Structure 1
Amino acid sequence: MQPYMPLLPTVRRRSVKWAWVLTFQYVLYIGVQLSATSILRKADGTWEIHMLANMGTIQVLLLWGNIFLTLLTSILFFVALIRDRRVSPWTGHTEVNGTDFIHAVAFMQIFYNASIFLYGTGLLSYPLFTTGSIGGLFESASLQIFLCMFCFIWFRGRLESIGFQSPIDVGKMFFFIIGCYLGITFLLSYVVAPLADLFHISLSSAREEGISREIRDAKQNSLITILLSFFMTGLFVPIAEEMMFRGVLQTYLVKKWGAFWGILIASFWFAIIHIDIALFLPLFIIGLSLGIVRHRFHSLWASIILHSINNVISVILSYQS
């Protein structure tokens, strides 16, 4: 069976053009959401960061204008992509290149845009399923499900290019991963938290509180939802996010600009895309650690394992709270 390969940039010029437009719309989407950040002083004197709490008329117009323009661009993008496939569906290309990179970003924008459109227009109620139910757990991981589907379809036949290969020096890798996790814990507990206290900044996060509530509600439902929450948060989410951020984005950025800048930019991207300024620094530190282990051991499995350890321990702590 001949492996599937994306088209080279010279062949896929039509879809690349629209992918760039979608990438610009992706940046605008992130910018509008970040611009709606509010910093409020609590009664105890600490500053608390609220995301999407101060969206004015201009921001709403920008957001919805971007949504409808993205819908139009998405149609043109898919038409061009289908035409490109018909022209030359097979090539001998195996490495992650700029075409893969820009299309990955384009598909992320398509997903975000579709989600906001469906929920924002009321075509789908939010949440669609009860929090903590089987449907709710899948709904909360809808982005990761999409990322996983995209990566497996787009890179089928060449998953090695995004890091699905045996790591070098497996024994050393496990010790390195443990050291990284302990390092993350130390930095968050003895550097980030004290700095936040020093500047009276609250590290509370509505996004994290929502995740913890989902996990606690799953605990109250049934054994199936408990096991599913462990599987989704501890295994599936790490695999999906690592495939996109360390597998596709970091791999290309490292190839383009070297390990230092590639890992740094991918980690910044990983942190900012969560739209959670209060936890930007912790997310950035975690992203750096994931990027380093993926690059150090030439395997996506290294970052998946570290990501899984971090998430599983977080789930356990949420169950105990």
Structure 2
Amino acid sequence: MPSTPSPTPDAAASDGPGGPSIVHRLVAFLVAVGLLLAAFVVGTITSLAVIFPLFFLGFGVTSTAVLVFGSIPQQLMFAGIGGLYARLRLDSLPIRRPDSEELRFVVGATLVAVVLASVLSYALTLTSLEPVESVIGEVAQNDPTVLLALAVLSIVLVAPAEELLFRGAIQGRLRTAYGPVAAIVLASLIFASPHVFNYIGTPVAVVATTGVIFVTGSILGIAYERTDNLAVPILIHAAYNTTLFGIAYVQLTAF
């Protein structure tokens, strides 16, 4: 299986005897955050342009149509900005059909991610923190089929789009200045940060719940560094989301 990707030529050229300079690391971090902000801001604006007409058609804020169709422009911006930057700035974007060993890695990593997320989420219920409400959960209470729609959307758009941005572009850029371990941690923090808008509750509880997303992001980041194949974290991400949405759907409809 391929080894960890090497830094891009411009990164190697900026390395002194002690490694990348503080300036180079700061620039890499600012670029990574800037990529998220650009994708998030432009995506939010385009999402609002899609959502407003739905309101005039009679769909409520917590309707399935608003949640599903409103999220598509955001994900398209993630894919567009992440993919374009990775292609233009990072020389290459390693993505290919996974081999048998990588597919086994996908299965194992997905199981680990689902189990860890379940254990951590349950552990949060045992603390004194007030439970948070999920935007998706609120919509699903009224229409459980939204979970099936989101599962499909995760496979065809969300997983590829978010991995292009957060692993391909952001983690790839951070790797050139910080190395793989720090890049995984920083990229996972950046990945988790926009998810705070998915929850409603006290700040401490929201941050703690978002910590589960950080753990998942770290698994995805490790998968990318381990295989040097963006298709692997894409498949893990899609399988992880689909599994959780499937479990939630069964819980809502079977009881």
TM-score, with normalisation over the residues of structure 1?
0.55
Please point out which of 163, 175, 190 is paired with 1:242.
163
What letter corresponds to residue 306 of structure 1 in structure 2? I
Measure the CA separation in 2 of the matches of 1:255 and 1:159.
9
**1:183: how far off?**
1.7
> What is the RMSD computed on CA atoms of the aligned residues?
3.6
- Compare CA radii of gyration and give the structure with the larger one: 1
Mapping 1:261-272, distance limit 5 Å:
261-272=182-193
Change (3 A) 1:235 1:125: closer
For the 8 Å contact 1:230–1:315, the answer to whether it is kept is: yes
CA distance in 1, matches of 2:235, 2:168: 14
The TM-score, its normalising length taken from structure 2, stands at 0.67
Aligned position for 1:139: 70
Q: Judging changes above 3 Å, is the alpha-carbon distance between structure 1 residues 215 and 300 closer, same or farther for their aligned structure 2 residues?
A: farther
Distance 1:235 1:158, change over 3 A: farther
Higher share of residues assigned helix: 2
Instruction: Give 3-state SS (helix, strand or coil) of 1:200's partner.
Output: coil
Q: How many residues align?
A: 212
| Aligned residues of 1:144 and 1:240 also touching (Cα < 8 A) | yes
With over 3 angstroms needed to count, the CA separation of the structure-2 counterparts of 1:214 and 1:141, relative to structure 1, is farther
Change (3 A) 1:260 1:109: same
2:176 paired with 1:255? yes
Structure 2 counterpart of 1:236, one-letter code: L
Looking at structure 2, the residues matched to 258 and 214 of structure 1 have their Cα atoms a distance apart, in angstroms, of 46
The answer as to whether partners of 2:167 and 2:230 remain within 8 angstroms in 1 is: yes
Question: Contact between 1:128 and 1:136, CA under 8 Å: does it hold in 2?
Answer: no
Deviation at 1:208, TM superposition (A): 3.6
- 2:102 aligned residue: 173
- Spell out the pairing of 1:49-88 with structure 2 (5 A cutoff): none
Cα 1:203–1:310 shift into 2, 3 Å:
farther
Change (3 A) 1:145 1:240: same
Task: Quote the offset at 1:270 in angstroms.
Answer: 0.9
How many Å apart are 1:138 and its aligned residue?
2.2
Higher relative contact order (CA 8 A, sep 6+): 2
The alpha-carbon distance between structure 1 residues 172 and 117, as it changes in their structure 2 partners (threshold 3 A), is closer
Task: Provide the secondary structure at the position in 2 that maps to 1:299.
Answer: coil
Contact 2:220–2:233, Cα closer than 8 Å, also in 1: yes
Deviant stretches of 4+, over 4 Å: 97-103, 115-119, 125-129, 152-160
Give 5+ residue unaligned stretches, structure 1: 1-7, 9-96, 220-225
Q: Distance in 2 between matches of 1:102 and 1:200?
A: 32
Contact preservation (8 Å) 2:167, 2:221: yes
Q: Deviations over 1:134-183 (max 9, x none)?
A: x752222321022223344555688972332455xx22222222222222
% identical aligned pairs: 20
Counterpart contact for 2:82–2:166, Cα < 8 Å: no
Residue 211 of structure 1: how far off its partner (Å): 6.0
Rounded Cα–Cα distance in structure 1 between residues aligned with 2:33 and 2:112? 33
